[in-house]
Amino acid sequence: MKIKLFLIIFFISFLGKSQEITVFYKEKRKPAQISRRHAPMDTEHFKVYMDEIKRIKAASIADKDKDSTDIFRQMIQEQADKMSAHSMKIFKETKKKSLDIPAYDFVTVLKIKNENSLYYPQDKVSNDTVSYTRTNKTGREFVDERVNYNNSEIIYINHKKDQKISSLKIYEFDQRNRQFLIEEKLMDLQWILTKETKKVDQYVCYKAVLNNSDKRVEAWYTKEIIANHGPKGYYGLPGLILELKEGKKTVRFHKIHLLSSDTMDIKPPTEGEKITREELKDLPSKLFNEY
């Protein structure tokens, strides 16, 4: 019994002194999806409408009576309306097929070395397009496609330099697949520590709620691993954050590696268009005005 107790105390002490840690987290993710449907215009009918519009335009040019201009313009509009109605009829003939993909486990990594940390996706994140082609009874082909937009964030924190550098791809702000780089000072995160506890894996965790945030942020941290870090760029608690609830999204502890055999090299991200946090917040309205 004494030996067992000694091993437990030694293990906890070992975790507390460990300066190089790699933590893996899991979260359920589902990409934002935008559907597009391509219903090609029937070539033969399209040609008939276009030929008729050309004929009317030629007649209007040849007619020297300026009073008839409005009549020709109305005739062209009628042909354009017919062409649009025909296109809509074809479009409605398509049957929508679900291209939804189920939620999946998205794994992220938090590397910690002394006062530095780097948080990033385990696998490369990119947008992808799913599509299918079908032919209706009349032989017309239709293409449905769905673009899956995936967010990506790499967050570097250096407590000694009071520095945070983030490389972000966020579809809500920009669907042109641009990457943004934000360099900023660390905020003073005001955590409210509670006495509420629960076990996450084998670790006893305490609940903390972030006070100075525009959204609900709840963290579960363990004092058994002394590390002032956590997932998604959160920090400032007296122990490693093993579970984080940010709004409706939850990032959960998956596994941990202590003192990796490889020398851990933590470097800040460098890729992306440099902007400020405020500029990123203003980007949706700016893009809306551009379009």
- If one compares 142 and 275, the residue with the highest pLDDT of the two is 275
Q: Average pLDDT of 258-286?
A: 79
Q: Is the pLDDT at 29 greater than 80, yes or no? A: yes
Residues 231 and 119: beta-carbon distance below 8 Å: yes
Beta bridge partners of 148: 33, 128
Two tokens, residue 223? 């004092």
pLDDT at 6: 41
- Between residues 268 and 142, which one has the greater pLDDT? 268
Average pLDDT score over the chain: 79
Residues 78-98 pLDDT 10s? 877 877 776 666 555 544 445
Is the per-residue pLDDT at 35 higher than 70?
no
Beta strands per DSSP E along 75-231: 104-113, 116-121, 128-135, 141-149, 152-158, 163-169, 180-185, 191-200, 203-210, 217-222
Q: Which amino acid is at 179?
A: Q
Taking a C-beta distance cutoff of 8 angstroms, is the pair 275, 166 a contact?
no
Per-residue tokens: 93: 């003939």
> Bigger pLDDT: 116 or 287?
116
Cα(212)–Cα(221) distance, integer angstroms: 18
pLDDT score for 2: 45
Q: Is 230 exposed, middle or buried (0-12, 13-18, 19+ CB in 10 A)?
A: buried
pLDDT tens figures, 134-180:
666 666 666 666 777 788 899 999 999 999 999 998 876 666 778 89
pTM above 0.75?
no
200 - beta bridge partners?
Answer: 203
Pick from 10-14, 173-177, 213-217, 223-227: least confident: 10-14
Are 186 and 163 in contact by the 8 Å Cβ rule? The answer is: yes
Which pLDDT score is estimated for 44?
58
pLDDT of residue 195: 95
Specify the amino acid at residue 95: K
Tell me what pLDDT residue 16 has: 45
